[in-house]
Structure 1
């Protein structure tokens, strides 16, 4: 196959790399040995060095082993960004176990699946989220419940009296400073973070390697409940080491850690990549433009992985002139297209080329990226190191000519092993092409004459709200539990800030015709993650259906798009 993008391949980079035979834990152990006193994690002015980071992870791994966690067991990790998330993530790996990262916006009804599907018996969470996790566990049959939950307070890793440029946003103070009461777990035990980290339990011998499972992140789809993506240490290690090279990473690098580290991009492109080269993570628990501006200035941040809405928001801050972005060497991200005007402003005003990329949970974050030296705007980039991507006809699987749209398929060392407990879904997700196993992304794209890829459409029915992927089928399944809802169809509606938002078209039961739009939205807020909540609700007498009885969601989507045009 002709690889036109090799003409634009950075001369400083190999076209493929050798994947380490070691585990991800080995990366932390190596960086801690090299840079024991270097800041690894910074959180509201409090610094945890690599020596302290590794020691806490070792001790927590010993506690996990004492609680019965064994090789290959899955452990739920349910947190917003904070040092404890990073420490717990590596402690689980140190204990030879598997991290199950969970979006902290999920509510009890959603959380049940993340306990039962991976057969998890142990979870680690923060005090604000512990009651919801316990509620989910308590509602399950006894044999499926969690046996242990380790709970941390945010102030376990920072001084609540911190002031000035390092202080939390005023709106966060109650959330972060509250000492949440201990949750109660039906048939199980709750342990505090301090107990768990300070217990005198020895960690087991570390025996896992490249071909052992390390991470089980969940992704949704066009039907049914979210599916776990099996990632071994090897696929994550590939992209962590490749990202270091691609993104000019060095031990002097300082990363603004604001993209969620429960998400595959935050997990791999940020957390694991930074640990590989011994950099420093300046951690934000959620987005605030002025906190970000102050931290970039104060800590001389060199690399900022983000979603485009964050950049747009920061540039619009009335305080923006007070911030110093001169330390930034790398700025980039994905999840949504960066508006061309914003990308041009970054280039013209700061000399920064916004590096867009593309990847999925199934590809351990990037499968494509724009080369630092030759990026194109509003472009997915070129296939990553060791990666072969094609554009094919989704029906015939024949390769499409340059410039024509088709389904993007990908083969490479970063591609996942398959879906957890879903052999049929795994079989459907892969195709043999030219003697190799390619993953079907379900995204429609085209390749230009230079070998750069561009998104054109989606095969999958998905809503992209500020970079968060919302799968209508999952939202519909949850909404059907509302007593007033007879039928529901979820579609996207245009949103000037988020790009897209969720809209629900609903048929009410005859017994609940007095139900209001606000009542539906309020119920959704109690039962699903905030980014999935419908921003709009439309009541109809009937949903359009095909001859076979399937809801014709495209008709509703086209009608909504026509109204917004």
Structure 2
């Protein structure tokens, strides 16, 4: 919250959030955040937030953090039983905004207006939880990953530098707001003075509508799942089209990058656009490795080198282990699963990613597959065991 407060102080009149014709300045967003913190009260614990794709969700996220609470996004499109399961597993004591009937003991708190009386920013420690997100679990139940404030602070600073974000940037809000990729868009932008842009047509399923929308919104930064980027490149090739001229940076990640699509990208009018391939896990906070893709790849496309705050260790079986200040605290209420995946090597705490990697002569890592049965679907890790468990529990 300190970096956001500094951005507010430097750029109070600049646009922070844009959605259609609606614009919130940094000063207005700050007032909304502080009003939300006051409504929640100091240190409210874990707070469930319906993560709809609106500026209100961003205000709720920052408001929970400002109050000293732990942000828990809940997808409002999930069935009520699934929402209850996630709220219970994360230990929520409050829910902000409207949603399904809440489990016993969880208080409902209405999201205030930006003009309501503001509150103070709570004092917090680096080990205090910032948010809880879920990864797929082999037992059939999701695993709540607890990320500390220290981790998100370190990573946000690293991503501002990696992306070269400036107050003149306009970052498209594209990722689902209940998944951690959205924080790659939100936090570097709003701690720099850049504008975060919501475009409904970017989610229309139509590439022509998306391209027109980001051109009209003067977007400069896109953060896309690799699978989506593959199809976008196909569209640009088929239509002999180009990205809007103000786009300067495209960040991709979540799945392996196709060497064929990368070759196609280089034949398009993309010389002025920086393309970054990224890698990371929920348990290691957003992005840990990155590579500028400046030339076509003759083989597998690398996932890059570790960011400055990241320690890496490659086991004898090729498994990538990640350490450093961006590690999660563990899985809430699951000490066995935490001990299995968060381990010590030479007195250093690491997360076992389950990903097998190799190293290029230039020091880049290349993803060589999984050591377990987890899959990636639209950039999200899915354990088939959870799918099996959910199917087995279905009454039909």
* TM-score in terms of structure 2 length: 0.90
Residue pair 2:263, 2:296 contacting (<8 A) in 1 also: no
Q: Distance in 2 between matches of 1:373 and 1:387?
A: 23
* CA deviation after TM superposition for structure 1 residue 347, in Å: 2.4
Q: Distance in 1 between matches of 2:11 and 2:160?
A: 17
Aligned to 2:95: 123
Residue pair 1:43, 1:282 contacting (<8 A) in 2 also: yes
Alignment of structure 1 residues 56-67 onto 2, 5 Å: 56-65=32-41
Q: 3-state DSSP class of the match of 2:287?
A: strand
Of 39, 46, 49, which aligns to 1:74?
A: 46
Q: Distance in 2 between matches of 1:209 and 1:433?
A: 26
Of 322, 330, 341, which aligns to 2:249?
A: 330
Of 336, 341, 344, which aligns to 1:424?
A: 336
* CA deviation after TM superposition for structure 1 residue 224, in Å: 3.9
Of 67, 71, 75, which aligns to 1:103?
A: 75
Residue pair 1:63, 1:199 contacting (<8 A) in 2 also: no
Q: 3-state DSSP class of the match of 1:294?
A: helix
Aligned to 1:433: 345
Aligned to 1:271: 186
Of 353, 362, 367, which aligns to 1:455?
A: 367
Q: 3-state DSSP class of the match of 1:365?
A: coil
Are positions 1:298 and 2:227 aligned together? no
Residue pair 2:313, 2:320 contacting (<8 A) in 1 also: yes
Q: Distance in 2 between matches of 1:50 and 1:477?
A: 45
Q: 3-state DSSP class of the match of 1:217?
A: strand
* CA deviation after TM superposition for structure 1 residue 440, in Å: 0.6
Of 241, 245, 252, which aligns to 2:157?
A: 241
Aligned to 1:22: none
Aligned to 2:289: 368
Q: Distance in 1 between matches of 2:266 and 2:283?
A: 32
Residues 280, 379 of structure 1: alpha-carbon distance in 2 compared, 3 angstrom cutoff: same
- How big is each residue's C-alpha offset from its partner over 1:183-226, in whole Å with a ceiling of 9 and x where there is no partner? xxxxxxxxxx4xx2268455245211433211111212333411
After superposition, the CA RMSD in angstroms is 2.5
Alignment of structure 1 residues 150-299 onto 2, 5 Å: 150=110, 193=111, 196-197=112-113, 200-267=116-183, 269-284=184-199, 287-288=203-204, 289-299=207-217
Q: 3-state DSSP class of the match of 1:77?
A: strand
Of 54, 57, 60, which aligns to 1:85?
A: 57
Residues 37, 348 of structure 1: alpha-carbon distance in 2 compared, 3 angstrom cutoff: same
Residue pair 1:368, 1:382 contacting (<8 A) in 2 also: yes
Q: Distance in 2 between matches of 1:323 and 1:452?
A: 29
Q: 3-state DSSP class of the match of 2:309?
A: coil
Residues 265, 356 of structure 1: alpha-carbon distance in 2 compared, 3 angstrom cutoff: same
Residues 84, 323 of structure 1: alpha-carbon distance in 2 compared, 3 angstrom cutoff: farther
Residues 313, 91 of structure 1: alpha-carbon distance in 2 compared, 3 angstrom cutoff: same
Aligned to 1:112: 84
Q: Distance in 1 between matches of 2:219 and 2:199?
A: 13
Q: 3-state DSSP class of the match of 1:197?
A: coil
Residues 464, 205 of structure 1: alpha-carbon distance in 2 compared, 3 angstrom cutoff: closer
Q: 3-state DSSP class of the match of 1:216?
A: strand
Q: Distance in 1 between matches of 2:191 and 2:124?
A: 18
Structure 2 unaligned runs (5+)? none
Residues 124, 343 of structure 1: alpha-carbon distance in 2 compared, 3 angstrom cutoff: farther
Are positions 1:147 and 2:107 aligned together? yes
* CA deviation after TM superposition for structure 1 residue 443, in Å: 1.4
Q: Distance in 2 between matches of 1:205 and 1:355?
A: 35
Between structure 1 and structure 2, the one with the greater Rg is 1
Aligned length: 388
* CA deviation after TM superposition for structure 1 residue 274, in Å: 0.9
Q: Distance in 2 between matches of 1:356 and 1:280?
A: 23
Residues 365, 198 of structure 1: alpha-carbon distance in 2 compared, 3 angstrom cutoff: closer
- How big is each residue's C-alpha offset from its partner over 1:255-282, in whole Å with a ceiling of 9 and x where there is no partner? 1111123211212x11111112111111
Residue pair 2:321, 2:353 contacting (<8 A) in 1 also: yes
Residue pair 2:289, 2:304 contacting (<8 A) in 1 also: yes
Of 306, 310, 314, which aligns to 2:228?
A: 310
* CA deviation after TM superposition for structure 1 residue 298, in Å: 1.6
* CA deviation after TM superposition for structure 1 residue 81, in Å: 2.1
Of 302, 312, 322, which aligns to 1:379?
A: 302
* CA deviation after TM superposition for structure 1 residue 283, in Å: 1.4
Q: Distance in 2 between matches of 1:203 and 1:442?
A: 43
Aligned to 1:391: 314
Q: Distance in 2 between matches of 1:57 and 1:375?
A: 44
Residue pair 2:44, 2:94 contacting (<8 A) in 1 also: no
Further displaced range: 38-47 or 430-439: 430-439
* CA deviation after TM superposition for structure 1 residue 448, in Å: 1.9
* CA deviation after TM superposition for structure 1 residue 374, in Å: 8.0
* TM-score in terms of structure 1 length: 0.64
Residues 474, 125 of structure 1: alpha-carbon distance in 2 compared, 3 angstrom cutoff: farther
Aligned to 2:357: 445
Q: 3-state DSSP class of the match of 2:211?
A: helix
- How big is each residue's C-alpha offset from its partner over 1:432-481, in whole Å with a ceiling of 9 and x where there is no partner? 22331111111122122222111112123222222233222222222122
